[in-house]
Amino acid sequence: MPIDFAVMYATHDAFRRDLRRLAAAAKSGLADSPGVRAGWANFNRQLHVHHSVEDAALWPRVLDALPGRPHDRALMAEMQAEHAALDPALAAVEKGMRRQSANLSESIHKLTEILGQHMAHEESSALPLIQEVLTPKDWDAFRGAMARKQGPSGAAVYIPWVLDDTTLEQRRRFLAAMPGPVALINRLLWERRYRNQRWWH
């Protein structure tokens, strides 16, 4: 059976959504508000978890499946290099927010461009390669590593964060890829806690 990338796409969409919110806050002069700072802190954490687990538990697994395929192995090196290239862009936004810099919007735009290009590259090139060379069991191992990195408290934030501002169909696809109890726990507990944080407000 083919690998289901619903969770990966939903996570990427959540990153794009948060960067749009950050850009809007900076344009309105509200980037220093507590809600925006808290939303930015969560964005950073989610991005760190996502990319660190990819680097540790996904790309090496793909590389192991690519003997004698130098072009595809080069793609994996590009994925890791693109992760590293994000660090100075993230630092520039953090510095701009801390100092309420006049060029904060420019730094956010640059981060959005770098991260957006990376995610588009991953979706158009890396995911089709993964579909070709890995099995659903391999993908489940990567997702298990991601779940362990998040831990229970991390999952309680990650799930409602991904689902924030999604359509009913996007929500259905994401929750269908999750363990059965997740939808109920999220509806009864996690989502309320998440909304009470009022991130980005």
How far apart (Å, rounded) are the C-alpha atoms in residues 177 and 108? 32
Give the Cα-Cα-Cα angle 191, 52, 177 (nearest 5 degrees).
Answer: 45
b/e map 13-30, b = 16+ CB within 10 Å = bbbebbbebbbebbeeee
Residue pLDDT, tens place only, 102-124: 899 999 999 999 999 999 999 99
Average pLDDT over residues 1-15: 96
b/e map 124-148, b = 16+ CB within 10 Å = eebeebbeebbeeebbeebbebbee
Residue pLDDT, tens place only, 58-99: 999 999 999 999 999 999 999 999 999 999 999 999 999 988
Instruction: Choose among 7, 52, 68: nearest CA to 145.
Output: 52
Length of the chain as a residue count: 201
Instruction: Choose among 20, 39, 40, 16: nearest CA to 28.
Output: 20
Residue 47 near residue 151, CB atoms below 8 Å: no
Model confidence at 100, pLDDT cuts 50, 70, 90, reads confident
For residue 195, give Cα distances in angstroms to 20, 35, 157, 165.
Answer: 18, 11, 10, 11
Q: pTM to 2 decimals?
A: 0.95
b/e map 95-111, b = 16+ CB within 10 Å = ebbeeebeebbebbeeb
Residue pLDDT, tens place only, 131-167: 999 999 999 999 999 999 999 999 999 999 999 999 9
Cβ count near 153 (within 10 Å): 8
How far apart (Å, rounded) are the C-alpha atoms in residues 123 and 126? 6
Instruction: Choose among 31, 33, 199, 13: nearest CA to 107.
Output: 31
pLDDT exceeds cutoff 90 at 201: no
pLDDT value of position 102: 87
